[in-house]
Amino acid sequence: MKHKIYIVGMGPGKEEMMTGEAVYALEQADIIVGYTTYLHLLGEHFREKELRATPMRQEEKRCRICFEEAEKGKTVALLCSGDAGIYGMASLMLEIGREYPQTELLVIAGVTAASSGAAVLGAPLGHDFCTVSLSDLLTPWETIEKRLRAAAEGDFVIVLYNPSSHKRKEYLKRACDILLSHVEGDRVCGYVENIGRAGTRAELCTLTELRDRQVNMFTTVFIGNSESEVIGGRFVTKRGYRWEE
């Protein structure tokens, strides 16, 4: 019989935002592997499981720990935030998985920050949107810039993941400057910090204002398209419905 590893997206944080399938996968697991922060977010619920906290970075090592535990005969769950396939570990697990043909990998979908953050703000993703990560750890900054320009040109709503970190405080400003050369400064924007966790904070602003805001790494940023508006204090991207008043 093949060994099993569930690659689980736990959603933004709180248990109510985890899918039933994710809960089921964690229940099946003998061992849950993930960052300390995510293991803490699970709270008391999976206390009887073996928990294995792995340090930040060292993603390959974290994957190999999962395969090694699976080879011992344990059912493993690798815990990721949001959706495991969106800037998460699912792709690397499948790449490394080629070396472990005896292991079956099951990817479990989760609620990604674009979706959970959008719900906090209103309905910013009502039409075509794209996500861009501002992290240049694995992606050259020129590629990020090119994608931002293309997104602005295509009039996409843009969701920015990884908008900031200790070493990249200026990145959001740089991204806004690129966008400001394509779209008007009063474009509707918003951002949400700590979605589904203690200290959730949402803000609406214009693109010009966003340029000078400091956000942290637990924040997801939304930049509207030409159809976005603030309606009753909520960020809405209209789909184009027309009706008689």
34 belongs to the binding site for ligand SAH (CB under 6 A): no
- Smallest gap from Cβ 69 to ligand SAH, in A, equals 22
- C-alpha distances (whole Å) from 94 to each of 32, 89, 98 are 18, 9, 7
Provide the minimum distance between the beta carbon of 203 and ligand SAH in the complex, in angstroms, as a whole number. Answer: 12
Distance CA 146, CA 124 (A): 23
131 binds ligand SAH (CB under 6 A): no
163-182 residues in contact with ligand SAH (CB under 6 A) are 163
Residue 113 lies near ligand SAH (rule: CB under 6 A): yes
- Size of site (CB under 6 A) for ligand SAH: 24
Cα atoms found within 13 Å of the Cα of residue 30, Cβ hemisphere only: 11
Of 21-29, 45-53, 62-70, 160-168, the window that binds ligand SAH (rule: CB under 6 A) is: 160-168
Is the Cβ of residue 14 or residue 234 nearer to ligand SAH in the bound state?
A: 14
**Residue with nearest beta carbon to ligand SAH:** 82
Could you tell me the smallest distance in angstroms from the CB atom of residue 30 to ligand SAH? 24
Q: How much of the chain is helix, strand and coil, in % rounded to 5?
A: 30, 25, 40
CA nearest to 52, candidates 81, 78, 83, 17: 78
- CA-CA-CA-CA dihedral for 207, 12, 78, 42, to nearest 10: 150
Residues binding ligand SAH (CB under 6 A): 12-13, 80-83, 86-88, 112-113, 117, 161-163, 192, 194-197, 217-220
